[in-house]
């Protein structure tokens, strides 16, 4: 790739398209969003990820204008959008239920927003045709929403919300109603459309795989707070908390007390009578501070003999093997009862696999394999 990497968030001179400034939202006694500050940049595909009830939908509805902000302000292209009603915002939304108007045709659904802008007939026609082409539904233009399939409805909803060429498109669990296979195909389609139209997308999802696939940056949320905002790779490799590490993908967490053992290197005393584990960390830990070592299963090697080239090795026995086809996950029980997951790619046929249930095995990983977390 010769073009420069898309990372406006690293450029201090770049003006954000959306700025949440100390936004708090309360519903009566219940606080949905706590003092939230967040920038989203033009042309980003930004994902709000979190379990249900974490406040991600509330954030989206505040952007669309269906909820007001209790404290703080939200800026769109530098202007406070608080007093702007939803029908006057240059923001469109694709609803989780799609919210297609059942009594009018696909064509009229897409034209609905354009008609509200009092556009000329020719303009409307041209734009609707363009949108139909974009989502490949020209053939179905004159059907009613209940006469097409779920996947097609999803595309109509997308076309309708893009028709007005909004500055910002909000997508509320856009793929939630589709089955897994269709969902994966549609993810790539969404990315293509986002790139073609150059629109800023904010997607709300509880599906981490979806967020990782489509987004340029992901905000992981929990109970009304944003825990971490970073690119998918950074979120996966450098989670900033046990919560994020645990929420995204599979992880082993080993708790212990840290003590410095070299420059940016620590020894983790995780169990009395056991050799301490070695891990690197750019984040400083004080002597005896409680730390969590988070290691992804695929970064743990499993072998029948003790490997001699590694700094961290433990012995255990195989408790369970989850065979997933391309991968196998081994659940290895340590002598103290803790279970560590190790994952290997099945590059060989199953019959040749040399580790089975109850086998005593060694698991090992390098000093840089894990991340040390303080919370």
* 186 binds other proteins per the rule CB under 8 A: no
DSSP state, residue 249: S
Residue 15 or 116: the one with the smaller Cβ distance to other proteins is 116
Residue pointed to by tokens 């089975």 = 356
Minimum distance, C-beta of residue 105 to other proteins, in the bound complex (Å): 13
Residues linked to residue 71 through DSSP beta bridges, in sequence order: 24
Q: Does 296 bind other proteins (CB under 8 A)?
A: no
Residues 6+ apart with CB under 8 A from 295: 251, 252, 254, 365, 369, 370, 371
Q: In this structure, what is the dihedral angle of CA atoms 360, 303, 242, 336, given to the nearest 10 degrees?
A: 20
- Is residue 345 packed enough to be buried (19+ CB in 10 Å), middle (13-18) or exposed (0-12)? exposed
What CA–CA distance (Å, rounded) separates 372 from 254?
Answer: 10
Q: Which is nearer to other proteins, 66 or 188 (CB)?
A: 66
- Residue 95 makes contact with other proteins by CB under 8 A: yes
Which one of the spans 75-83, 98-106, 340-348, 357-365 is the region binding other proteins (CB under 8 A)?
98-106
What is the smallest separation between the CB atom of 259 and other proteins, expressed in angstroms?
55
**77: phi > 0 → left, psi -120 to 50 → alpha, else beta; which?**
left
For the segment 105-124, give every residue that binds other proteins (CB under 8 A). 112-113, 116-117
Distance of closest approach, residue 328 Cβ to other proteins, in angstroms: 35
Burial class (CB in 10 A: 0-12, 13-18, 19+), 99: middle
149 interacts with other proteins by CB under 8 A: yes
Residue 316, both tokens: 């255990």
Q: Which residues between 48 and 77 bind other proteins (CB under 8 A)? A: 64-66
* 202 in contact with other proteins (CB under 8 A): no
Nearest approach, Cβ of 370 to other proteins (angstroms)?
Answer: 44
Q: Least distance to other proteins from the beta carbon of 148, Å?
A: 5
Tell me: does residue 375 bind other proteins (CB under 8 A).
no
CB of 107 to other proteins, least distance (A): 14
Q: In what order do the strands lie in the sheet with 301-303?
A: 301-303, 360-365, 312-323, 327-333, 339-345
- Check residue 101 for interaction with other proteins (CB under 8 A): yes
Number of residues that bind other proteins (CB under 8 A): 34
- Whole-angstrom CA distances from 282 to 137, 186, 248, 372 are 51, 38, 21, 9
Per CB under 8 A, 87 contacts other proteins = yes
> Footprint of other proteins on residues 122-141 (CB under 8 A)?
140
Q: Does 92 bind other proteins (CB under 8 A)?
A: yes
Q: Which residue in the set 148, 162, 218, 361 belongs to the binding site for other proteins (CB under 8 A)? A: 148
Could you give the CA distance from residue 220 to residue 246 in angstroms, rounded to a whole number?
11
State yes or no: residue 348 binds other proteins (CB under 8 A): no
**Interface with other proteins by CB under 8 A: which residues?**
64-66, 85-88, 91-93, 95-97, 99, 101-103, 112-113, 116-117, 140, 143-144, 146-152, 160-161, 164
């Amino acid at each position: 790739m010769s073009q420069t990497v898309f990372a406006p968030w690293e450029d201090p001179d770049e003006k954000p398209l959306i700025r949440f400034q100390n936004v708090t939202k309360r519903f009566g006694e219940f606080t949905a969003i706590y003092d939230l500050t967040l920038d989203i940049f033009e042309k980003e595909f930004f994902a709000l990820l979190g379990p249900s009830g974490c406040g991600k939908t509330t954030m989206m509805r505040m952007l669309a204008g269906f909820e007001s902000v209790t404290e703080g302000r939200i800026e769109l292209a530098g202007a406070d959008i608080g007093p702007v009603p939803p029908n006057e915002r240059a923001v469109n939304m694709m609803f989780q239920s799609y919210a297609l108007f059942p009594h009018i045709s696909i064509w009229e659904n897409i034209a609905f927003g354009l008609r509200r802008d009092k556009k000329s007939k020719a303009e409307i026609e041209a734009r609707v045709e363009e949108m139909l082409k974009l989502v490949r539904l020209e053939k179905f233009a004159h059907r009613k929403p209940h006469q097409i399939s779920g996947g097609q409805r999803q595309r109509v909803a997308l076309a309708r919300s893009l028709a007005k060429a909004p500055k910002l498109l909000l997508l509320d669990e856009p793929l939630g109603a589709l089955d897994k296979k269709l969902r994966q195909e549609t993810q790539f389609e969404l990315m293509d459309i986002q790139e073609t139209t150059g629109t800023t997308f904010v997607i709300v999802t509880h599906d981490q795989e979806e967020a990782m696939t489509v987004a340029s940056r992901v905000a992981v949320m929990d109970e009304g707070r944003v825990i971490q905002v970073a690119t998918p790779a950074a979120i996966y490799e450098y989670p900033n908390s046990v919560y994020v590490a645990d929420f995204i993908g599979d992880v082993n967490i080993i708790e212990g007390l840290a003590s410095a053992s070299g420059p940016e290197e620590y020894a983790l005393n995780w169990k009395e009578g056991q050799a301490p584990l070695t891990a690197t960390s750019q984040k400083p830990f004080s002597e005896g501070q409680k730390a969590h070592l988070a290691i992804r299963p695929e970064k743990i090697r499993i072998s029948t003999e003790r490997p001699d080239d590694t700094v961290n090795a433990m012995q255990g026995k195989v408790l369970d093997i989850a065979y997933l086809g391309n991968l196998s996950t081994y659940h290895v029980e340590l002598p103290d009862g803790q279970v560590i997951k190790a994952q290997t790619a099945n590059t060989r046929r199953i019959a040749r696999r040399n580790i089975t249930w109850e086998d005593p095995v060694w698991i090992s990983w390098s000093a840089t394999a894990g991340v040390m977390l303080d919370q």
